[in-house]
Amino acid sequence: MIFTHDTEHALAVVVDLINTGAATSGAEELGGLAGLRAFVDRNSFSDVDELTEADLVRVLDLRARFHEVFRADGVPAAVRLINEIVGEVRTTPHLTDHDGYDWHVHFFAPGAPLGEHLAADCGMALAYVVAAGELDRLRTCEAPDCSRVLVDLSRNRCRRYCDSRTCGNRMHVAAYRARQREAAH
Ligand SMILES: [Zn+2]
Ligand SMILES: [Zn+2]
């Protein structure tokens, strides 16, 4: 494991959030509250009750800012973006073992709205990535027509494609065909 389990979980949430706006079909997954609810449910957040349009607006704004971190041109730019995100939100660090997870630290204040929850916990996860000197693990998929992001948690930093099945498979096929062409010469 490269980071602690709660950091890796928060990073997976960031990736999922950014990719809701980067579907290869061009569809916007967070076009309404139903999409936001689906995002919340599949990431098993604790303490999220009713969702409102205000939550949606805030989450979309945060999504754009997280995406900027992935595209930041170097560590200082990423630091500035992350400090803005975590600096604006009220944080209340506390240890918890909810839902059968091992002890881990939450940074959002109990009862915080979804946007604050994400800004605090995902923002801190990104801060740990920078502090560990691992910013280059935050990547954009290298498939030509894909803008999805990924966190490369492989030991040898070899991951280049997002986890959408199309990208992985497509690139394997392309590599296979290239090898066949080589062999034919
Ligand atoms: Zn938790
Ligand atoms: Zn991709």
How many angstroms is it from 133 CA to the middle of ligand 2?
25
User: Is residue 111 classed exposed, middle or buried when 0-12, 13-18 and 19+ CB atoms within 10 A define those classes?
Assistant: exposed
How many angstroms is it from 146 CA to the middle of ligand 2?
5
- Enclosing H/E stretch for 85: helix 75-87
Domain that holds residue 108: 5-184
Q: Is the pLDDT of residue 98 over 90?
A: no
- Determine the average pLDDT of the residues in 58-64: 97
* CB 30 within 8 Å of CB 20: yes
Q: Which residue matches tokens 């999504």?
A: 63
> Which residues crowd ion ligand 2, with CB under 5 Å?
141, 143, 146, 148, 162, 167
Q: Is the pLDDT of residue 152 over 80?
A: yes
Tokens of 155: 């030991």
* CB 101 within 8 Å of CB 121: no
> Of 63 and 98, which is predicted with more confidence?
63
How many angstroms is it from 18 CA to the middle of ligand 2?
13
Q: Is the pLDDT of residue 82 over 80?
A: yes
User: Which residue type does 49 have?
Assistant: D
Q: Is the pLDDT of residue 30 over 90?
A: yes
DSSP code at position 135: G
* CB 14 within 8 Å of CB 83: no
pLDDT at position 100, please?
83
Q: Report the domain count for the chain.
A: 1
Distance CA 137, CA 174 (A): 24
Beta partners for 104?
96
SS3 150: strand
Q: Is the pLDDT of residue 87 over 90?
A: yes
Q: Which of 137, 118, 135, 116 is nearest to 127 (CA)?
A: 135
pLDDT at position 178, please?
72
What CATH number did the domain enclosing 51 receive? 1.10.3300.10
If you count them, how many residues does the chain have? 185
- Residue 103, C-beta contacts closer than 8 angstroms, at least 6 positions apart: 95, 96, 97
pLDDT at position 25, please?
62
Average pLDDT, the chain: 90
Q: Is the pLDDT of residue 174 over 70?
A: no
pLDDT category at 10 given cuts 50, 70, 90 is: very high
How many angstroms is it from 13 CA to the middle of ligand 1?
12
Supply the angle between the helices 53-70 and 5-19 in degrees, to the nearest 10.
Answer: 100
- Determine the average pLDDT of the residues in 152-157: 92
- Determine the average pLDDT of the residues in 4-9: 91
